[in-house]
Amino acid sequence: FPADGPLRIVDFGCGKSYLSFATHYYLQHILQRQIRLTGLDRRSDVVDQCREIVDQLQLQGIDFATGDISAFDVTEHIHLTISLHACDTATDDALAIAARRHSDVIMAVPCCQHELASCLPKDQQPLLSRHGILHERFSSLATDAIRAALMECVGYRTEVVEFIDMEHTPKNLLIRAVRRTDGPEPDKSEAGREQLRRFSEQ
């Protein structure tokens, strides 16, 4: 993050916004940074609840909006993009918008990755597809691997890490991406594209 000046933060698929409020408190009250945080969710009922909390606590620098991630329009530079358990392809929408807006840091915890599971022919992975749970978990890991590779291709240093013990939630993988100031690494980007091409041909 820049050493001074306001920080622009977006929480895609914020839900009841526990993460949004915690992030707001930490940055504004602990680190003493000026921030503007927007939480986005397509459920109007939870957005209304979050707005009520903001009003009751008279919070500054945080607002909430209703809508789909793919249709969200933000013109300012984003310093931090967060997304916790946005279901299925909503995580991909969050990553795509964050990358297009050159978000400095992206932290996404995917959830419910059914899209690739439905696309992978089970006869290509018979050892795994014999058991539904293994096919689902393989698809989930493959999806996150593809996401990480794509983020590296567009200029992010990317890691996939466990952010909490499995006993708390099985959806415990965090995609952490930090934008490179010098753009994509040509060798890594080319290698990533080649790996993605080979995977798509399997």
Structural domains in the chain? 1-109 (3.40.50.150), 113-202 (no CATH)
Question: What does the pLDDT look like over 72-125, one tens digit per residue?
Answer: 888 889 999 999 987 768 899 999 999 999 999 999 998 765 555 566 666 666
| pTM, entire model | 0.84
Question: What does the pLDDT look like over 6-45, one tens digit per residue?
Answer: 999 999 999 999 999 999 999 999 999 999 999 999 999 9
Q: How far is CA 200 from CA 1, 67, 68, 124, 132, in A?
A: 36, 32, 28, 12, 21
- Can you give the C-alpha Rg of the chain in angstroms? 18
Q: Give the separation between CA 8 and CA 17, rounded to whole angstroms.
A: 16
Write the DSSP string, 104-131: SEEEEEEE---HHHHHS-GGGSHHHHTS
Residue 77: DSSP 8-state:
P
